[in-house]
Chains A and B, each alone.
Chain A
């Protein structure tokens, strides 16, 4: 029982991040509306970013900005006192790339609406099938 409690305390954060990822994945597959699919994609992306940033946490450490001692008096920096900055750097890139992808995806949604007049996946598939049989 002690073992189980210790395991839960050590890892419950990761479980909640995985729940968030699965909410995003479910929205991408199951929802019929295109805008909901895009929202699910964004939820998935932010959940992954959350997971990466949480890897860099250290117990009892402070943020990775050094105190600027006045004019050159540097005291030695111990790496265990500061949070790991490397996941933050990688995830900065990921956040900005995700907003760019969101812009392009919404442009595509507007184009689809201009062609088919609807945003539901089933109706679009019907319209495509009818256009194909009308062509033949």
Chain B
């Protein structure tokens, strides 16, 4: 089986290598990829949209449809993960509790009740991962700065590399860091599951809502220059502000999806204990 698949891989590789003989040489400015539409984007982006980062301008303005459906795909992947894994109302077969004053660990089997918010007992994970004080203190200090940096990346996507996706992923990663360094239940207290789901849908609503708003104001779908009527700026500025609104929508949707996928993967659906 392995020899057979090695032969297949080498054969496909040889066919592709033969095809590279026709490629334009590497770094050629006159290659077909660089000649039809992209000189127009490069030359006209600043005066039509007043956004110096051309990749953001093309992503959110000239190719806005692609980005909208991509956000929908991200939301669908998050929803698929939740549907596959999530189990409601499953009581864990055994739980461990630790008495805070003496350090004694209690192993509770079955469904006996221990009050969850009791001040003297705290619940620890089944597969016990030691929680180090150094990691916990440093991450508690670091998470607000991560979120501030993520908001900077979203807002500054017009002038520097960045934009909605990168900022959204960093926002999601900050909540994942909280779940890893402290406890999955702590991160669930900060952002509940229902809030995460609503945020994912809200992100897509912001994106398509901006497009629908442009139709209501008389332009085409996702034609941000129609927003100049309510924002009272010139159409070029309105395109820049439309790009910003759309990037915020993308960032919110991506953040919620990353949090939802991680919470379901790490606890395999039960959302009570995990990494």
Interface set of A (CB-CB < 8 Å, partner B)? 10-11, 13-15, 18-19, 21-22, 25-26, 29-30, 54-59, 61, 64-68, 74, 76-80, 82, 84-90, 92-93, 96-97, 100-101, 103-104, 106-108, 110-111, 114
Q: B81 touches which one: A54, A67, A104 (CB < 8 A)? A: A104
A56 touches B34 (CB 8 A): yes
Per the bound structure, the CA–CA distance linking A135 and B176 in Å amounts to 44
Chain A residues, CB < 8 A from B104: none
B33 touches A59 (CB 8 A): no
B265 touches A106 (CB 8 A): yes
Q: A58 touches which one: B28, B58, B264 (CB < 8 A)? A: B28
A14 touches B42 (CB 8 A): no
Q: Is B208 positioned at the interface, with any CB of A under 8 Å from its CB?
A: no
Per the bound structure, the CA–CA distance linking A132 and B26 in Å amounts to 55
User: 8 Å CB contacts to A: which residues of B75-91?
Assistant: 76-78, 80-81, 84-85
Chain B residues, CB < 8 A from A61: 29
Per the bound structure, the CA–CA distance linking A54 and B269 in Å amounts to 40
Give me 6 A-to-B residue pairs in the complex whose CB atoms sit less than 8 angstroms apart, sorted by A's number.
A11-B20, A11-B26, A19-B13, A82-B54, A85-B55, A100-B74
Q: Is B59 positioned at the interface, with any CB of A under 8 Å from its CB?
A: yes
Q: B70 touches which one: A21, A79, A84, A93 (CB < 8 A)? A: A93
Per the bound structure, the CA–CA distance linking A29 and B25 in Å amounts to 32
Instruction: Tell which of B45-53, B107-115, B136-144, B179-187 binds the partner.
Output: B45-53
A107 touches B84 (CB 8 A): yes
B26 touches A68 (CB 8 A): no
Per the bound structure, the CA–CA distance linking A51 and B242 in Å amounts to 32
B85 touches A89 (CB 8 A): no
Per the bound structure, the CA–CA distance linking A13 and B45 in Å amounts to 31
Q: Is the interface of A mostly helix, strand, loop or mixed?
A: helix
Q: A103 touches which one: B43, B59, B81 (CB < 8 A)? A: B81
A79 touches B10 (CB 8 A): no
A64 touches B17 (CB 8 A): no
Per the bound structure, the CA–CA distance linking A110 and B266 in Å amounts to 10
Instruction: Tell which of B94-102, B159-167, B215-223 binds the partner.
Output: B159-167
Instruction: Tell which of B1-9, B189-197, B226-234 binds the partner.
Output: B1-9
- Write the nearest CB–CB distance from A67 to chain B, whole angstroms: 7
Q: Is B147 positioned at the interface, with any CB of A under 8 Å from its CB?
A: no
B55 touches A92 (CB 8 A): yes
Given contacts A19-B13, A56-B33, contact A79 B39 (CB under 8 A): yes
A107 touches B80 (CB 8 A): yes
A77 touches B46 (CB 8 A): yes
Chain A residues, CB < 8 A from B201: none
A114 touches B268 (CB 8 A): yes
- Write the nearest CB–CB distance from B136 to chain A, whole angstroms: 27
Q: Is B130 positioned at the interface, with any CB of A under 8 Å from its CB?
A: no
6 tightest A-B CB contacts, nearest first: A100-B77, A79-B39, A10-B25, A30-B5, A59-B27, A29-B5
Chain B residues, CB < 8 A from A82: 42, 54
Chain B residues, CB < 8 A from A25: 8-9, 12
B2 touches A14 (CB 8 A): no
Given contacts A10-B26, A59-B29, contact A66 B46 (CB under 8 A): yes
Chain B residues, CB < 8 A from A106: 265
Given contacts A65-B161, A77-B46, A107-B264, contact A89 B26 (CB under 8 A): no
